[in-house]
Amino acid sequence: MKAAKVLAVTVLAGSVSIGLAVFGERWLEHEQHAAEQHRGGALQGVLDTLPEQQLAPFQDQALNSRRWAGKVVVLNFWATWCPPCVREMPLLDEWQQIHGDRGLQVVGIAIDQADAVASFLEDHPVRYPILLGERESIALTRGLGNRIGGLPFTMVFDALGRQVFSYLGELDDALLESEVEPLLPETG
């Protein structure tokens, strides 16, 4: 009888250990998946290359994403009514001016009305292209990993057009230094 109890306890302990190991492995996979999504890793159902898009013209220029071939592209979705979007625009403008000759291309996609964007840019000009986003652009952000549709939403693509980083929220200089700077060729 004592041997039967020992066997039962051993089987029970073994089952609990195996169950905890399986649960722990699945939990770690979930955490890694969430980290990859934040860092721009290729996820199922998420675009992992710069999409070929013809975006609505603004400032008398229709831009096709093929125009940015060979450049590191920072694609920033924003709106005039979004305070964090407005706060990060001078930083993006500064990065375009400082690193544009090294192959950086910042592109703003305004999820807003054309007249609101025009009025906003009169008071807050930037020296990188601004495109108008429409319903298709909102769908594009979801395809790029912005599941909740929040703004600002930024994607970074390397010079080969591969998605290397995505971020929902306001950018800062340290984040650009760690995620964009290493993609740019050395100055020389």
Please list the pLDDT of the chain residue by residue as tens digits (188 residues).
687 776 666 655 555 455 444 444 444 444 444 444 444 433 333 345 555 544 555 555 555 667 788 999 999 999 999 999 999 999 999 999 999 999 999 999 999 999 999 999 999 999 999 988 876 777 778 877 888 889 999 999 999 989 999 999 999 999 999 999 999 998 75
Question: What are the boundaries of each domain within the chain?
Answer: 1-39, 65-183
**pTM of this structure:** 0.69
Q: Cβ(152)–Cβ(77) under 8 Å?
A: yes
SS3 107: strand
Which class in CATH covers the domain with range 65-183?
A: alpha beta
CB atoms under 10 Å from CB of 167, counted, come to: 20
